[in-house]
Amino acid sequence: MVKVGWAAEDTRALGRRLAAVLRAGDLVVLTGSLGAGKTTFTQGLGEGLGVRGPVTSPTFVIARVHPSLRGGPALVHVDAYRLGGVEELEDLDLEASVAESVTVAEWGEGLVEQLAEDRLVVRLERSEDPAEEARLVRLSGHGDRWESAAMRVALHRVLGSPGGPDLARC
C-alpha cells in the first residue's frame, strides 16, 4: 500500500512508474469509488507506455484502443461499469487483443479475470480522513507473473518503498 498525494499528477506519476514493468499480455484491473483516480491512473499508464492519446474515460464507448507510438504494446482501456455481465464482456472480443496489448479494466473486478491467468489489481481509495489529502493505492498480484519474487521487488520500486509492506497482504 502506498499513499499518493491528492493531486491528480501524483496518481498519474504512479501510473507512469507502473508502465515501466508492464508488457504485452498484462491485465490490470482497477477498482475504487467514483472519483478515486482510476482514469487518471490510466492516463499515467498511457504516458509511460507511450501510446497515442489522449487517454479519457471510455464510459460511453466501453473500450478504447490506444496504439503505441514507440512500437510497444497498445493500451486497451475498458470501462466495465455499464456492462451487464460476462456475456456483454465477451461481445467486446477483448480475448482477440489481450495477448498483444496491456489491457486496463476500470470497474472490472468480477468480470475480466477470465481474460488472463495473471492479473494485477490496483485499488484506489480516497482517504477517509478529510484532513489528509491522500489516496491509498493497494496492489495485489494474481498468478505466477505477479507473484514472482522479481515482480514483487519491481512493484515495491514502483511504489517507491523497496523495504515497504508485503504486497501479498496489500
- pLDDT tens for 110-163 read 878 778 889 999 999 887 777 776 778 889 899 999 999 999 889 888 887 533
16 occurs within a structural domain = yes
108 occurs within a structural domain = yes
DSSP of 96-136, one letter per residue?
GTTTTEEEEEET-TTTSGGG-SSEEEEEEEE-S-TTS-EEE
High-pLDDT (> 70) share of the chain, %: 81
pLDDT at 98: 75
Q: Which residue shows C-alpha cell 515501466? A: 20
139 occurs within a structural domain = yes
Confidence of residue 164 (pLDDT cuts 50, 70, 90): very low
Give the range among 52-56, 96-100, 166-170 with minimum mean pLDDT: 166-170
Nearest by Cα to 29 from 114, 123, 101, 97: 123
Distance CA 84, CA 22 (A): 29
Q: Is the pLDDT of residue 165 over 50?
A: no
27 occurs within a structural domain = yes
The CATH code of the domain that includes 16 is 3.40.50.300
Residue 28's SS3 state is strand
52 occurs within a structural domain = yes
- The angle formed by the CA atoms of residues 127, 158 and 124, to the nearest 5 degrees, is 25
Between residues 18 and 113, the one the model is more confident about: 18
The pTM for the full model equals 0.84
Distance CA 89, CA 105 (A): 11
Residues written for the chain: 170
Q: What is the pLDDT of residues 55-72, one digit of tens each?
A: 988 776 778 889 999 999
Q: Is the pLDDT of residue 19 over 50?
A: yes
170 occurs within a structural domain = no
Distance CA 18, CA 155 (A): 8
Mean pLDDT of the chain: 82
91 occurs within a structural domain = yes
Domain limits for position 144:
2-163
Distance CA 42, CA 40 (A): 5
| HSE toward the beta carbon, residue 9, CA cutoff 13 A | 0
Q: What is the pLDDT of residues 33-46, one digit of tens each?
A: 888 889 999 999 99
Contact status, residue 169 vs residue 29, Cβ threshold 8 Å: no
How many other CB atoms are found less than 10 A from the CB of residue 110? 11
51 occurs within a structural domain = yes
Confidence of residue 47 (pLDDT cuts 50, 70, 90): very high
The total domain count for the chain is 1
Confidence of residue 1 (pLDDT cuts 50, 70, 90): low
